[in-house]
Structure 1
Amino acid sequence: MKDYIWVEGAREHNLKNISLKIPKNKLIVLTGLSGSGKSSLAFDTLQKECQRQYMESLGMITENINKPNVRLIKGLSPSISVNQRVLNCSPRSTVGTVTEIFTYLRVLYARFGERYCSNCGEKITPSFNQSGEDYNDSDNNGDGLEKKFILCPNCKNKIFELGMSNFSFNKPEGACPKCMGLGKISKVNMKTLLNEELSVLDGAVSIWCSAEIKRFSSTLVNAGKYFGFPFDPSIPVKDYNNIQKNLLLYGIYDIRFKKNFPNIDFPKSVDNGRFDGIVNIVLRRYEERGDDINYRKKISKLIIEDVCPDCKGSRLRKESREVILGDKSITEVSKMSLYELMDWINELPNKVIPKCRLIIEQTLSNLRERVRRLIDVGLGYLTMGRASLTLSAGEYQRLRLASLLGSGLTGVLYVLDEPTTGLHQRDTDRLIKVLKQLRDLGNTVMVIEHDTEMMKAADYIIDIGPGAGKKGGNVIIAGTLNDVLNCNESITGRFLSGKELIEIPKKRLLGNGKFIRIKGARENNLKNINVNIPLGVFVAITGVSGSGKSTLMFDILAKFAQNSSSQIGNKCDSITGLEYIDKVITINQTAIGRTPRSNAATYTEVFNLIRDLFSKLEYSRKNNLKPKHFSFNVSGGRCEKCQGAGVLMIPMHFLPDEQVLCPECHGKRFQKKILGAKYKDKTISDVLNMTIDEAILLFENENKIKTKLLLMKKVGIGYLQLGQPATTLSGGEAQRIKLAKELGKSSKGHTLYIIDEPTTGLHPQDVKQLILVLQKLVSNNNTVIVIEHNLEVIKVADWIIDLGPEGGDKGGEIVAEGTPEEIMHSPKSITGMCLRKKIF
């Protein structure tokens, strides 16, 4: 038993009472069609039971914590799961802070950094900072911070002493006072906030609801009376004089207003006219709710974020930015890619004074190891200053994987969810080596994966299927690669052996002769490149991770195409050819909602149609039930104990919170009265628990509902439950829900679709189906651009634009462009080299 994990009678979700023995200390790949039951086995059975047993050993278990639906698990090891969730959404979090690399740099700069005296200009060396001649004093510079000082050895000038906290932008001692360590300042977009053609009462202020209009109008009128001038909220804002407009915009405390009333005391209450101004109200709310992503998105159209004019985006105070180590400031080092940072670390001992070399080496050794691990998992193109918010789910997962490599733990079961997401084939090979290192430490590494190279590298493969949802949940084959290749029942085996293929088109489309031309693209790492994108074809944007693909497509093309009034600015010289397309649709992998209340049914708006249908049932008419009563998001019909969630959250302190069924509605979400309404013997709760495939059969006679459901099935998510919370969806699933919604909108052709890695989380069989959907869009006179690493998609594209040659500063150039056949013969293209293996 000690060499295996024994699972008997696993029935979680769609698993069909499966039993298997999983060898320990191996690299194991769990594969199968999307929705076949891989996550149910790995996360909801093995990982959940590991967590339950751990809590039980600590005496933390309660009767509310559900045991996974499995008869027996033996030989289970302690487990660590790494899924595709970006856990830190704070704008203050960066790659450097998440990996703690920035902490090591703060140590280096605080102890060994060189400065120059502000009085005499002489260099103050680290040897002086460590001597016994330091002069310590405290002072308060008016910013509330107690500071220590040293004396310049040359002129005895008192100089601010810098410690580790002075190099942290998350501490007041180190943060730039202008932007408070964010690197950006927020300004209000007056065009979206205020319509000067309207009056305040008619809705001139876009963010005010009717109640706020009434309340604030009264305050403004009272402010006018207090200061002795009329304020009429019924006239257009454009007719206000400067004093009236400044009151509305900036409030009574702003110098632009109060300079007109130097001898008047200001009102103390809102009733007397105390008003902060709509600009200040918006900015204050935006800053106070900085970690609330939903709220920030809600008012993002009102906010323009510019680089901080004081720190130029570095986030740090002037004193901290001026310290030099190895010819670089900490700001300059933060802008380096991890590849460049490694070079700087290796050269640093030769650039510090001799007496510091032995002392500095221990810190550099730890720093070097952390950077190396990040490079090994394919993240060498990232910079330390990169905000965590901008990382993809795959990038964030690999950050966490790199930290696990440094833990040195043994005897652990690691469960990873598609770690190759977002990786170029070249980088996938590096990742496989990392996972084998983790295995060789004495750990069991279980990977949910669809990548064929990962499968070929595995010691053991478990293929779940044969289909998705209720058609899956069985173990088709569990064994070595050869066992899978020889299994005729395994779809995975057929793709691995070449018996099943995604066919290359016999003829590449040439397009309609029109082009979108981008000249001089130079945002982020792009090297002033000129790009010609043919219209009316299927285009793949390729290149290693960090080569500039997303910057080119989303930050430049999509941003300008979706808002032609926006300024190109310094991003590129010009973009032409947009007149040949009617609209642009971008589909990325961001979540469709940040709360469990959002799901596929609500996002695609099919739930509105279903609620309308239920409200028209005879039972509903008799009981006066309206569509709102069939919503779990508003009071009226939902269970108020759980507020329509169906579950209650139990805080688990140092572990993730646990969900338990609501004791009142037992997971049904609705009140008993609402559940009395039935369509074909199914309640509204039953419908939410159905898969999309099942719902198609239920609503086969309801054309509007069926059409939306069929679109979701077409993009490969028929296995999802209609009510599955958005927080449990992978990035790829969320993306395909977005695609289904867009496909449901009427289109006359000439639409440009820009899609970020649409095959994320898809089995080769699902990829085959998705390619047909994308090719159908092209055949309807649209243009489809995909950013993609999957060679099965790249090989069927009509045109490829390959960026590189590497990531970060070593990327940003066009390596090759043309048909797949032309790309694979390019001697400089890494993508072309990988394509040769696929096409030949």
Structure 2
Amino acid sequence: MSNKSIDLGEQKDVEVYGARVHNLKNIDVSFPRNQLVVITGLSGSGKSSLAFDTIYAEGQRRYMETFSAYSRQFMGGMERPDVDKVSGLSPVIAIEQKTTSKNPRSTVGTITEIYDFMRLLYARVADAYSYNTGEKMERMSEDQILQNIFNKFDGLAVNILAPVVKGRKGHYRELFEQIRKQGYVKVRVDGEIKDITAKMQVDRYKIHDIEVVIDRLIVDGKDKKRLLDSVQTAMKMGKGVIKISDKDNNVAHFSKFLMCPTTGISYDEPQPNSFSFNSPYGACERCDGLGYIFVVDKESVMPNPKLSILNGGLAPLGEYRDTWMFQVLKSLAKKYSFSLSTPIEKLSDEVINIILNGSPDLIKVEVEYNKWNVQNYNITFDGIIKMLEEQNEKRSESATDDMDAFRKLKTCPECHGARLKKESLHFKVDGKNIFDLAS
């Protein structure tokens, strides 16, 4: 942040003359500006009367006077404090003393409400940067978008694209049908232009980017109206975002919102709650704004590697019992050729990793309910760690202590302890994000 202070001419001090608020007895006092000044004294000596009811009140009154008469009628009047004169006064902020809190979401900034002012500052004046490339984000008007298209693609044949799906799974059969009914005949799926056909769909288990081809034209000055109409249509369908691609598949991204000019990622317009770790609009989604997460500790799950799985080598499961989880582990051992009787320290790293973190391969679990009823189930095994994490999410308070034995605190790998979404952390003032400033 800049160290420049407000220029009030040659006056270096704040001067108060004839202060008579509450128990102040017509006192005169001066103190230096732009320095830390402490007002101290016995209880009832007038410290708060001077700081809050005289100096702060006069600063607020002067600020209110800068508003129009129409605006002031909705704010209520502020009486002038009982003082002859206050000079050298710059804009003022008062932070009240607050009681401490054991809430893990509270900080000195939130308790004193200073952080509220910082959030407002970043929402209004911060510059946005791409979390992918570090480039400054851009927003463009329609005229600027058109000018950039002419600058980059003049004389070239281009596709004007409206993004409708970005980085999501699904078959999108209904979407393709809806696009076809609107009269469009081509889409760009994962970078490839395709004709829209009846009952068209894509792999539902893969992540896709889908854009509607709004128009295909040559960029020149002969038909600016067609280009403008196509850009406007694409902006409407793409909700403020469009792409332009040429025959070599070079793609340019444009948006009326904040957007990275290289990768096309976009941010919502910042609001004060975008920088609040107590709001879903600003909090890191991985740690819910706490800055840390609970992770299952491998050493706690396998505290004694000399034991086998059957003999209690997996602490959360204990010794062998006729339960579903042990049936799954028996099937897992059969598939990956290891024994539940082998001490854990003699199992391969690959097997231990599968036990802890699971495997995408299908395994067949045979469950014998009685000698006439044997059922086979084909499942994937997610691992002991995932099982414990799911139990933790569903656990009752009475089970907290049991779960804590297998968990430890870890700095959130997504926000690195900053508690905010990565988008929020890439708004900067003078090169610092709000976490840097608040730390």
TM-score (norm 2): 0.40
- The structure having more radius of gyration, on CA atoms, is 2
Higher share in helix:
1
